[in-house]
Amino acid sequence: MVAVDHVQHPEHLSAAAVSGIVFGCFVFLVGMTAVVYKCYRRRVMQNAQNRLSSAIKKGLQESNSGSFKKSMTVRNTTKVMKSKGTSPITPPGGESGLDRVPIMGFSSGHSPEQVHCVKAEMHVEQEKDGATPEKEDALRDRSIVSPERPTKLGNLTFSVAHDEQKCALIVTIIKADDLPPRDPSLGGCDPYVKLQLLPEKKHKCKTRVLRKTLSPTYDETFTFYGITGNQIPTTTLHFVVLSFDRFSRDEIIGEVIYPLSDTDINQKETTVTRDITPRHLKFRNQGRGELLVSLCYQPAANRLGVVVLKARNLPKMDITGLSDPYVKIYLLYNGQRIAKKKTHVKKRTLNPVFNESFLFDVPYNEGLQNISLELLVLDWDRMTKNEVVGRLEIGLKCDGQGASHWNEVINCPRKQIAEWHKLQD
């Protein structure tokens, strides 16, 4: 007989042991996931903090930079301003992404007064976000003129000369004196000057920002080519003095308007000192004018057609006695703006002809019962924020002509109905 050795097989693992191994693996995976996520979040936060710190440092270096040359050339084209070496600075008026930095991003090097000032500016921005059009006008007018502003705004010194051979107008912004502080409690001001030629408004330039001074000295020369001797009597220099603010809209200190017909300029420079006056108040006493609007409701397509035809007798919003109007149209549903359109700007006219049509989609199965239109006529301005010339609302809940026009549109679908409307303040 052959002896056969029996092989001893290991016993099977119990259910409890298997459960323990699975549970241990699960706990290990959860722990590793938590560790990896924590490391990832820490790295993301560090990168965000580093980017914020570098952005603030870069912005401060740019605004404190003083490496500027004194000459700038402006050629006779619509959007060309050739500089002979002016170093770039942080654009005044909130043109860079660094203008609004969260409060949490401030380091311990900022004083409580600065943080309080930033919070106040952010409070004003929140007011603007939730403001009605009337409140928006009040906030905008606050930057133009305020009863609390000082009566004396200082003076501006500049020189003017004309080179007949080169057909060039040479303007040197020399200095400003006795400017009011932006905040009387903190003192100081970060002034700069914008300059444009009227009535064409084709040329615009600005000086550098000088920090923490009420008597800045610029000595910056701007050369405008293509200005002949015959154009000099009809040209006006328009200076706007502003105070730069990194965290909100720059404050307008005042302006200086100097018609070149007042002086006999030639190759020799003429130095002039003028008082800075409050920002022009845009002829508030005259009427707002009228707007011709044509409406057509298409119930099958759930669309409302709006044609802005023309306006007449608009107020003189510019110091030249003209305006640069355009129209914004808002579609309102239960009083809330749900869509908007706008026309092109018509330059230097008080009786613009737009003749532009727009289509708005009306909410399905709503009709025009809860729909209305709001139209704003604005004056385009290269130097400052565009100002509302007048407004009107057309809908069932409106008064007078706005409601009658809307009723006629509802009762006569697929038909163009045009009416003149008086603009309101």
Residue 107 lies in a domain: yes
Residue 40 lies in a domain: no
8 A C-beta contact, residue 235 and residue 263: no
pLDDT at residue 198, rounded to an integer? 82
8 A C-beta contact, residue 68 and residue 221: no
Residue 36 lies in a domain: no
pLDDT at residue 69, rounded to an integer? 43
Domain of residue 331, residue span? 290-422
Residue 367 has pLDDT above 70, yes or no: yes
What is the average pLDDT score of the chain? Answer: 75
Q: How many domains does the chain have?
A: 2
Query: Same domain, yes or no, for 127 and 247?
Result: yes
Residue 31 lies in a domain: no
pLDDT at residue 275, rounded to an integer? 92
What radius of gyration, in Å, describes the C-alpha atoms of the chain? 32
CA–CA distance, 54 with 46 (Å, rounded to integer): 12
One DSSP character per residue, 134-188 reads HHHHHHHHHHH--TTS-S---EEEEEEEEETTTTEEEEEEEEEESPPPSSTTT--
Residue 262 lies in a domain: yes
Query: Same domain, yes or no, for 384 and 311?
Result: yes
Residue that has been written with the tokens 């004056």 in this structure: 379
Query: Same domain, yes or no, for 215 and 308?
Result: no
User: Residues 242-256: pLDDT tens digits?
Assistant: 988 877 778 888 889
Residue 52 has pLDDT above 90, yes or no: no
User: Residues 172-184: pLDDT tens digits?
Assistant: 999 999 898 877 6
Two tokens, residue 67: 């490496």
pLDDT at residue 70, rounded to an integer? 47
Q: Which amino acid is at 176?
A: A
CA–CA distance, 173 with 73 (Å, rounded to integer): 13
Query: Same domain, yes or no, for 297 and 268?
Result: no
8 A C-beta contact, residue 388 and residue 264: no
Instruction: State which of 212, 247, 275 marks the end of a domain.
Output: 275
Residue 16 lies in a domain: no
Element (H, E) at 53: helix 15-63
Which CATH number fits the domain that encloses residue 81? 2.60.40.150
Query: Same domain, yes or no, for 256 and 322?
Result: no
User: Residues 201-213: pLDDT tens digits?
Assistant: 777 899 999 988 8
Query: Same domain, yes or no, for 212 and 296?
Result: no
Q: pTM, whole model, 2 decimals?
A: 0.44
Query: Same domain, yes or no, for 216 and 260?
Result: yes
Query: Same domain, yes or no, for 201 and 262?
Result: yes
Please count the helices (runs of H) and the strands (runs of E) in the chain. Answer: 4, 18
Q: Provide the strand spans (E) within 199-302.
A: 204-206, 217-225, 236-243, 251-259, 270-275, 290-298
Query: Same domain, yes or no, for 306 and 220?
Result: no
Residue 83 has pLDDT above 90, yes or no: no
Query: Same domain, yes or no, for 343 and 396?
Result: yes
Instruction: State which of 248, 275, 302 marks the end of a domain.
Output: 275
Instruction: State which of 275, 308, 323 marks the end of a domain.
Output: 275
Nearest to 372 by CA among 357, 400, 392, 351: 392
Query: Same domain, yes or no, for 204 and 167?
Result: yes
Query: Same domain, yes or no, for 219 and 325?
Result: no
8 A C-beta contact, residue 237 and residue 260: yes
pLDDT at residue 23, rounded to an integer? 87
| Cα-Cα end-to-end distance for the chain | 121
Q: Residue 334: left if φ>0, alpha if ψ -120 to 50, beta else—which one?
A: left
- Beta strand pairing call for 71-74 and 217-225: parallel
Residue 190 lies in a domain: yes
Residue 319 lies in a domain: yes
